[in-house]
């Protein structure tokens, strides 16, 4: 049986234009949660929290982790909380952090400050078949881009699993549908982003068309509507570099 993959733009209003924000879908409350990001030189690093219900965005908090961007967030189904890791914060000067926070639908709590090295824009997803968080890659400020893989164990905390992985994808993002683990990202200044699938052993490129190539966007799966949701970022092509506030969805259609 073949599949047809189709992106559709759903909205262009909601959170202010930004890049480097983090998103996660909360199964228990059936909402996509968005935190922080960089709103430009005048606005700076954002510390607001928003929800997407499939039709509109609503701001739900403005307190929690310090304003930061280029962090990563995913939902831990086993503990029913969204987990945020890493990024850039301003503490007198810009610095990388390796803090881990969780959002329980009401408030933010810091749960760890050790584990993966300090970094910006790793990608993180909850592996439903193995019931654990998986964190991949990111950027420590030195090339090449990081390619290590970590998992969150509820008893031991962060555990390093692998040093190898995809290369040369700037600001990759992952989402898990249960059947598919999807990565969207851009190599260099390409005009179109790339959509990849991870099967637990190999990466396969599934789509070279869809949203424009971009950096510092985010991606999450809405299980109630069986759609992968993408929001925002910054255009990758130098000729048209700009902050984005667009929302896209990916449908994986069995044929």
pLDDT at 101: 94
Find out whether 212 and 191 touch, Cβ atoms under 8 Å.
Answer: yes
Contact 163, 145 (CB under 8 A): no
Whole-model pTM: value is 0.71
CB–CB of 229/221 below 8 Å?
yes
Q: Find out whether the peptide bond into 144 is cis, omega within 30 degrees of 0.
A: yes
Taking residue 207's Cβ as centre, other Cβ atoms within 10 Å add up to 17
Average pLDDT, stretch 85-93? 86
Just give the CATH number of 3-254.
2.120.10.80
**Domain boundaries in the chain?**
3-254
> pLDDT-derived band of residue 128, with 50, 70 and 90 as boundaries?
confident
Mean pLDDT throughout 101-119?
91
| Structure confidence at residue 1 (pLDDT) | 67
Instruction: Estimate to the nearest angstrom the gap between the alpha carbon of 35 and the chain centroid.
Output: 10
CA–CA dist 144, 119 (Å, integer): 13
**In this model, does residue 239 exceed pLDDT 60?**
no
Q: What is the pLDDT of residue 208?
A: 65
Task: Indicate the average pLDDT of the chain.
Answer: 85
Query: What tens digit of pLDDT does each residue of 5-60 get?
Result: 888 887 778 899 898 888 888 888 888 899 999 998 888 889 999 999 888 888 88
């Amino acid at each position: 049986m073949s599949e047809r993959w189709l992106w559709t733009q759903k909205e262009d209003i909601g959170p202010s234009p930004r890049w480097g924000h983090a998103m996660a879908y909360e199964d228990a409350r059936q909402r996509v949660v968005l935190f922080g990001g960089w709103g430009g030189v005048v606005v700076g690093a954002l510390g607001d929290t928003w929800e997407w219900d499939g039709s509109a965005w609503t701001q739900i908090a403005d307190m929690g982790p310090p304003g930061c961007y280029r962090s990563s967030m995913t939902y831990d189904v086993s503990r029913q909380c969204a987990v945020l890791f890493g990024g850039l914060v301003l503490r007198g000067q810009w610095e990388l952090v390796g803090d881990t926070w969780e959002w329980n639908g009401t408030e933010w709590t810091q749960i760890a400050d050790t584990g993966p090295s300090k970094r910006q824009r790793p990608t993180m997803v909850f592996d439903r078949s193995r019931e654990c968080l998986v964190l991949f890659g990111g950027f420590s400020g030195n090339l090449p881009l990081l390619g290590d893989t970590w998992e969150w164990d509820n008893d031991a905390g962060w555990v390093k699993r692998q040093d190898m992985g995809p290369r040369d994808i700037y600001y990759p993002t992952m989402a898990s549908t249960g059947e598919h683990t999807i990565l969207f990202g851009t190599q260099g200044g390409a005009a179109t982003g790339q959509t990849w699938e991870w099967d637990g052993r190999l990466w396969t490129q599934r789509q070279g068309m869809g949203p424009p190539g971009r950096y510092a966007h985010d991606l999450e799966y809405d299980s109630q509507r069986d759609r992968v949701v993408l929001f925002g970022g910054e255009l990758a092509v130098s000729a048209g570099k700009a902050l984005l506030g667009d929302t896209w969805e990916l449908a994986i259609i069995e044929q």
